[in-house]
């Protein structure tokens, strides 16, 4: 068998160096892409902690829920629901730095600043039945939902 000497090829050393360089470049690109994905998933965003419903008022068909903004930004509460039915809500008290928007105290929407607390009074259109479990949902300005359940108290 005759070997053609006029053909030129890469030496094995040069070919190995090129393969290693391409592998390193691709791994850096993949690491950067995965890092960007993980940072977007790890952002704290809106984090409301809802306390257990308390003071079930059968006269006004309302209940109080303590709310704490544990996130890294302000949270605007736009609406409320009781068992997936629209409900009205107002703010009963709030910590010093929280703001109420608009200027009518207590009406929706209202803003709870980072690290602040508020007590929200949720009104149901009909009366609560003692011993029945209800789910209360607060919906934020970015349409995130925070829910808590409680069993109605009373006679």
Same domain, 64 and 91: yes
Same domain, 136 and 64: yes
In a domain, 74, yes or no: yes
Domain span at residue 52 reads: 48-151
pLDDT of amino acid 72: 83
The closest of 148, 79, 80, 68 to 113, measured between CA atoms, is 68
Same domain, 38 and 81: no
pLDDT of amino acid 153: 85
Kindly tell me if the per-residue pLDDT of 148 is higher than 50: yes
Same domain, 74 and 24: no
Which has the minimum average pLDDT: 26-40, 93-107, 108-122?
Answer: 93-107
CB atoms within 10 A of CB 98: 21
Same domain, 34 and 52: no
* pLDDT 10s digits, 29-48: 998 888 777 665 555 578 89
In a domain, 116, yes or no: yes
């Amino acid at each position: 068998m005759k070997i053609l000497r006029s053909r030129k090829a890469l030496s094995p050393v040069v070919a190995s160096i090129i393969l290693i360089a391409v592998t390193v470049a691709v791994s850096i690109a993949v690491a950067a892409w995965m890092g960007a994905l993980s940072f977007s998933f790890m952002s704290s965003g809106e984090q409301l902690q809802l306390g257990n419903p308390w003071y079930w008022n059968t006269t006004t068909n309302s209940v109080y829920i303590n709310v704490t903004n544990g996130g890294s930004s302000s949270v605007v509460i736009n609406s409320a629901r009781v068992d997936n039915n629209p409900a009205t809500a107002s703010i009963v008290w709030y910590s010093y730095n929280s703001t109420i928007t608009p200027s009518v105290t207590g009406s929706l929407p209202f803003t709870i600043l980072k690290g602040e607390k508020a007590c929200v009074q949720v009104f149901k259109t009909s009366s609560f039945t003692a011993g029945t479990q209800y789910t209360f949902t607060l919906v934020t300005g970015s349409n995130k939902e925070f829910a808590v359940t409680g069993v109605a108290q009373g006679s």
